[in-house]
Amino acid sequence: MKKVKRLKGLFLVGMIMLIGATSLATIKTVSAATIVSETKNKKVVSYSKQELEKGTDVKFETDSIDKIYQLLKQTKTWGNLGENTENAQRIADRFEQSESQAIKILKNIVASDGLKLKVVFVNKPKYSTVSIGTLEQETTAKKNDSSTKKTIDKTLKAQVKAIDLKIEYKHKDIELEYDVKSNGLVKAKYQNEFTKEKLDGEKAQKIIENLFSGLDLKDSSKSDIKDHILMKLDEEKGVKKFEFKVKFSDKSKIEFEIE
């Protein structure tokens, strides 16, 4: 009888130790993401430099960018940062697929204390994607100093000189033109054969600017640009050819074609 009681006691001690170990393991996974915005089909989260350093256990420095990138390609890293298994895999895949963009983002974050990593989840019934970029971290100092610093104009017409887009489907097309003149006025044209819209002037300008809202053209990969535009148009399926060209106000440009 004493032997039975002793075995029961050892069993209880073992269970307590197991529960304690499980609790400790759970504590390692921290929810580091800050939710920036969330709708039915879209969720935007951000990670600060300090949060990413905790998740990767690597200090963000120029010499460590490649090591950080290799870690961010791993599902385990995003699990440590508090993402569920599915989202962790999706983010890791995006980093692996967009190496040049990811390296550029990490370099920018290393160079500036005011930048965060931005992750955008798009979830629609027949379409889902993840995109990455940067998000400026507004500090109290910046808020208080707004009267002495010039506000950066982040509107589309302040950043670009011209945009040309043509999307070919099996039977219909979508086309747009957006030109910013030297006097600041915009000449815009928009044609969508799905919705039977054929617009120019202010109506076309408004549609085009809304189409590119939330997209950092300079800091996005070709696939991210395409995915964002198709998601906004709600015409993701059946694309035969995607032709895109943008000229920025600093005279740089992006031009590509995806079939």
Tens digit of pLDDT for each residue in 4-16?
555 555 555 555 4
Tell me how far apart the terminal alpha carbons of the chain are, to the nearest angstrom: 78
Closest CA to 120 of 196, 177, 35, 189: 35
Percentage of the chain beyond pLDDT 90 is: 39
pLDDT band at 255 (very low <50, low <70, confident <90, very high): very high
Statement: residue 250 has pLDDT above 80: yes
Sequence-distant (6+) residues with CB within 8 A of 109 are 49, 52, 60, 115, 116, 117, 134
Tell me the pLDDT tens digit for each residue of 158-213: 889 999 999 999 889 999 999 999 888 999 999 999 999 999 999 999 999 999 88
Q: pTM of the entire structure?
A: 0.54
In whole angstroms, how far apart are CA 129 and each of 57, 89, 94, 140?
Answer: 27, 12, 9, 33
Q: Is residue 71 scored above 90 in pLDDT?
A: yes
Closest C-alpha among 113, 127, 187 to residue 157: 187
**Rounded Cα gap, residues 225 and 241, in angstroms:** 14
